[in-house]
């Protein structure tokens, strides 16, 4: 399989483009590629943009693996939880450009961005685990509690509501929506504005804002995923 992530640098901004030619599902190859891309961005750039292919940001965890039994679920969801916490604490400004559908773990990946910009269109964003009969990991609950509007939290988690881009702004998945053709340039401009901050100061502020929650999630990740996997 070819690399599911393309990396390039625009001025001082790293552009990480997810494109596996399909739904950008989070299997092990995609998780590893995003993790490596974030590491490279931290070494080479001052900010990062995470963007999907047109029409698809990410369909969430690879259901082919999820349906493979408890051991497969445990391995994938632990890796995914670790990636989400890595992105959530990424020491540089991280802009997520939600280029299309973003459901389940794809929606969670959107929530890790410091600025989150969506493409206008007939796209759905949300946490649909309850609707498809999957247990919700604690890291999903805590990311949602941290980033979503309190008014929408029950509908988002318990109701498994999927939002269009404009409604996703009201719910808290996104900060803004722009035309699809302008998404990449808008996201790069947002990252460039954030990149003027001193890196160490920005990273320290993010750790102080999010570090305690991330540590709590990481410390309980194995037990939480065992519960999710039913083992």
* pLDDT tens profile 162-208: 999 999 999 999 999 999 999 999 999 999 999 999 999 999 999 99
Write the CA distances from 92 to 58, 67, 206, 209, integer angstroms: 22, 35, 9, 14
Locate the domains of the chain by residue range.
5-229
Q: What are phi and psi of 158, to 5 degrees?
A: -80, -35
- Structure tokens, 42: 């931290």
Write the CA distances from 194 to 115, 200, 228, integer angstroms: 9, 13, 37
- Domain 5-229 sits in CATH at 3.90.226.10
Write the CA distances from 24 to 38, 203, 228, integer angstroms: 17, 28, 22
**What's the confidence (pLDDT) of residue 231?**
60
- Mean of the pLDDT values across residues 31-37? 98
- Structure tokens, 222: 């194995």
Residue 54, judged by CB atoms within 10 A of its CB (0-12, 13-18, 19+), counts as middle
């Amino acid at each position: 399989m070819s690399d599911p992530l393309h990396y390039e640098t625009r001025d001082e901004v790293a552009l990480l483009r997810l494109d596996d030619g399909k739904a950008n599902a989070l299997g092990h190859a995609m998780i590893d590629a995003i993790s490596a891309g974030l590491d490279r961005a931290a070494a080479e750039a001052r900010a990062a943009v995470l963007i999907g292919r047109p029409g698809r940001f990410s369909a969430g965890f690879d259901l082919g693996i999820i349906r493979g039994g408890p051991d497969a679920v445990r391995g994938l969801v632990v890796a995914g939880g670790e990636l989400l916490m890595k992105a959530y604490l990424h020491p540089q400004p991280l802009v997520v450009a939600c280029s299309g559908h973003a459901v389940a773990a794809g929606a969670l990946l959107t929530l890790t961005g410091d600025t989150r910009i969506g493409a206008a269109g007939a796209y759905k964003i949300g946490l649909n685990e309850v609707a498809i009969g999957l247990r919700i990991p604690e890291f999903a609950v805590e990311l949602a509690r941290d980033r979503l509007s309190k008014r929408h939290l029950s509908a988002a988690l318990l109701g498994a509501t999927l939002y269009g881009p404009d409604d996703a702004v009201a719910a808290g998945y996104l900060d803004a929506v722009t035309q699809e053709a302008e998404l990449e340039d808008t996201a790069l401009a947002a990252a460039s504005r954030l990149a003027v901050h001193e890196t160490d100061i920005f990273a320290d502020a993010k750790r102080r804002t999010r570090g305690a929650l991330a540590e709590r999630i990481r410390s309980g990740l194995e037990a939480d995923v065992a519960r999710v996997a039913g083992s």
